Structure 1
Amino acid sequence: MPNRSEPIDPRVRIGHVHLKVADLERALNFYCGILGFELMERHGDEAAFVSAGGYHHHIGLNTWDSAGGSPPPPGTTGLYHFAILYPTRAELAGALRRLLGANVRHPYWVRHWALDVERWTFSRTTG
C-alpha cells in the first residue's frame, strides 16, 4: 500500500461515474426508460448525461472508442459494479419490477447485502 500523509476527508463523495457503452440509445433506454433517471444533456450518438433529482449528472454514458463494442472478456480488469441506492424498499421493488418486465436478467448475485442492479443485462432476444 502506498504511503500517504493524511487520510481523505470522510465527507468526500463520488459525484458521478462515466460508462463507455456500445449503443447510446440502448443505454438510455436502460437508465432512463427502465430505471427512471432523467436525461439532462445529450451530444448526438456520442454522449449523454443522466441524473436523479436534477443534478447535472450522476452517470455519464459515452460511445467514445466503444461504439458497437462488446463486453470485455473474462479475466480482464475494469469496473466491477457501482450501487444505485433507492431511498425506500418500495422504490427498489419498483425498479426491480421494471427490470423484470423488460426481460432484463441478472447474471449473478453480489457478495454483500445489496442487490447489484447495475449488473443486470438485456437478454439477446430483447436487444
Structure 2
Amino acid sequence: MDSYKIPSGTSIGHVHLKVSDLERSIDFYCGLLGFELMMRYGKDAAFISAGGYHHHIGLNTWQSKNSPPAPRNSPGLFHTAILLPTRKDLAFLFKRLADHSYPLTGAADHGVSEALYLDDPDENGV
C-alpha cells in the first residue's frame, strides 16, 4: 500500500443499521434517545436525525427482518458513537436511561470525553 492519509477534516456522515424490528428500533432511537423521525421508506426503513438534518441514522429491515442479533464474535459494527454537545446533555440522557431502567454495558472517562455504553434492541453497541 502507498502512504496516502485521509484528510484530517474528514467526518463520517451517516450510519445505516440493519435491524430486525423497525418499530422497536424507532422506539429506542426516537422514543428513548430522542432522535427525530425524518422519513419512512415504506414499511422497511426509516431515517432519523438530530436537529432536523436529513438523517444521521438509517434503520432498515431489508436483509434482517425478524433475525437474531449478529454473534458478538463475528465481524461487524462494534459501536456507533453519538457525540452530545454538552456534559449536561449526557447527564440528562443518563437520567433518562436510568428512569426507563435501560441497562448500560459500561461507562468511561476518556480524559477528553465521557461516555456511556449501551446496546440497542438488536445488540448494536451505542
- TM-score, normalised by the number of residues in structure 1: 0.82
The residue aligned with 1:17 is: 15
- Equivalent-residue separation in structure 2 for 1:99 and 1:55 (angstroms): 24
- Report the CA distance shift for 1:40/1:121 in structure 2 as closer, same or farther (over 3 A): closer
Shift of residue 112, structure 1, vs aligned partner? 6.7
Percent of pairs with identical residues: 50
- Equivalent-residue separation in structure 2 for 1:90 and 1:57 (angstroms): 24
2:27 to 26, 29, 37: 29
Shift of residue 121, structure 1, vs aligned partner? 4.3
Shift of residue 103, structure 1, vs aligned partner? 2.3
Q: For residue 32 of structure 1, what is the amino acid of its counterpart? A: C
The residue aligned with 1:74 is: 72
Shift of residue 90, structure 1, vs aligned partner? 1.1
2:81 to 80, 83, 91: 83
- TM-score, normalised by the number of residues in structure 2: 0.83
Q: For residue 120 of structure 1, what is the amino acid of its counterpart? A: D
1:94 to 92, 95, 106: 92
- Equivalent-residue separation in structure 1 for 2:55 and 2:8 (angstroms): 22
Q: What runs of 5+ residues in structure 1 fail to find an aligned partner?
A: 123-127
Q: What runs of 5+ residues in structure 2 fail to find an aligned partner?
A: 122-126
